[in-house]
Amino acid sequence: MMIDKKLNFLLTGGAGYIGSHVANLLLDKGHEVTILDNLITGDQRLIPKPAVFENIDISNKKDLNKVLKKNTFDVVLHFAGLIRVDESVLYPEKYFEFNFTKAKIFIDTCIENNLNNIVFSSTASVYGNPNKDRVSENDNLNPLNPYAKSKLNFENYLIEKKNQNKINYVILRYFNVAGADKKLRTGLISKNSTHLIKIACEVATGKKKKLIINGTDYNTKDGTPIRDFIHVSDLSEIHLICAMDLIKNGNSQIYNCGYGKGYSVKDVISEMNKLIPKNLNVENGQRRNGDSEKIVANTQKFCKHFNWKPKFDQLDYILNTALEWEKKLK
């Protein structure tokens, strides 16, 4: 599917980990990018220079209207939101406000300004604890924590708006996103990240003392949870493909974004140990509230529809780029 024309992207959350990677890819391909971010968890240093940056909250209708009225965007990529499962368990209202209420105001304002194509960053955690080896888009949804519920609520809102013929959407359910840009232009900065690979890199570079395994009594091969890791550069390409499909075909769809490969926490630790001089300092800990036991994507829908193959689906590559980024951050 080719679109030769330069496209104009509106990207929320572009000062964050994934949004900044996607922004770099879009600019590399010659497109225009405007980023909306209030920097609540993002970092302005991650915003690529050629992008236009508006430091606003996505629910600030006045500021948003100004941006929407002075531009004609082809599509919105909506990354902005809060992402910590543990925090969402403590402060569920905050998660509903940021991930649902604010997002609703945002998309309603886009619709009022005739911006009707949206790619939304959802999460595999909407599936909860699927009772199968690989979970598909039409399997049961069972969000186990307020973060996942807030994301599912917004998915449903988009579907409702589509049914009223107001928008077309692509909902991307990310599995565990990891790694960094090959050129190390951007990566994960967040100081209090709960991402396993981020913490492993922090321990490997001496920024943290130890890695705590959250639960060793799960019903898995080694007792630790199993996840499907996708490299952020492959995920970025998926966004571009979906955005072009939306613009060209108006095809509203939901896709899983993973590799269909399950690695346990202990698998990740031992793969990391191969890349570093001294083994990670690891301690067994308690389960975290709201964590699933095993969640791996069935990726057939996206791969078949677009005849797509990932480029970076090796755990050592994912870990290496994450580690190189962490060293650069020092």
Name 263's bridge partners.
Answer: 227
Report CA-CA distances (Å) from 262 to 131, 202, 216, 287: 14, 23, 16, 19
> Residue 169 interacts with ligand NAD (CB under 6 A)?
no
CB-nearer residue toward ligand NAD: 30 or 105 = 105
The answer to whether 39 contacts ligand NAD (rule: CB under 6 A) is yes
DSSP 185-218: S-----TT---HHHHHHHHHTTSSS-EEEE-S-S
Decide if residue 109 touches ligand NAD (CB under 6 A). no
Q: For residues 179 and 317, is the Cβ–Cβ distance under 8 A?
A: yes
| Structure token pair of residue 226 | 């199993």
Residue choice 7, 9, 16, 26 for contact with ligand NAD (CB under 6 A): 16
Quick check: 150 binds ligand NAD (CB under 6 A)? Answer: no
Tokens at 299, concatenated: 């990726």
Contact flag: residue 79 with ligand NAD (CB under 6 A):
yes
Residue 225 is a binding residue for ligand NAD (CB under 6 A): no
Choices 79-87, 209-217, 269-277, 303-311; region in contact with ligand NAD by CB under 6 A: 79-87
* Residues that are catalytic: 147
Q: What region, left, alpha or beta, does residue 180 occupy, with left being phi > 0 and alpha being psi -120 to 50 degrees?
A: beta
Binding of ligand NAD at residue 98 (CB under 6 A)? yes
Rule CB under 6 A: say whether 13 interacts with ligand NAD: yes
Among 10, 11, 17, 24, binds ligand NAD (CB under 6 A): 17
- Angle, helices 61-70 vs 102-112, to 10°: value is 30
Give contact residues for ligand NAD (rule: CB under 6 A).
12-13, 15-19, 36-42, 57-59, 79-81, 83, 98, 102, 121, 123, 174, 176-177
